[in-house]
Amino acid sequence: MAKRQPTYSTQADQLKDDLRHLSETVEELVNATAKDASGEMNDLRSRAERRLKDTRARLEARGERIYDETRDSLTHQADACDRYVHENPWTSIGIGAAAGMVIGMLLGRR
């Protein structure tokens, strides 16, 4: 049996989990080194905190942008479909009937 390719949703969830684990690890490292008072360690800790905050902000902004673009695209496609059905009702009925027949025939073969 062929191995199924992971879906986009699965890949996105995996990426989110990986980024969350990385973020938690960096936070733990920053917190663990908080007691070290050396100047170099303070500098490294502050740079790590800055980069973590910047990365989180960029990822959140990118996620919001992707969500908005996807929502707008789906809304546009749904509106186009709705317009087509209203402009061509008999064609839409024919397409629906044909699709129903094909699905019925495929399910009837089982």
Residue 52's closest CA among 86, 85, 27, 73? 27
Domain extents in the chain = 14-66+86-108
pTM of the full structure: 0.51
Residue 106 confidence (pLDDT): 92
Mean per-residue pLDDT, 46-61: 80
Assign 51 a pLDDT band (cuts: 50, 70, 90).
confident
2, burial (CB in 10 Å: exposed 0-12, middle 13-18, buried 19+): exposed
pLDDT of residue 2: 45
pLDDT tens digit string along 69-99?
889 999 999 999 999 989 999 998 999 999 9
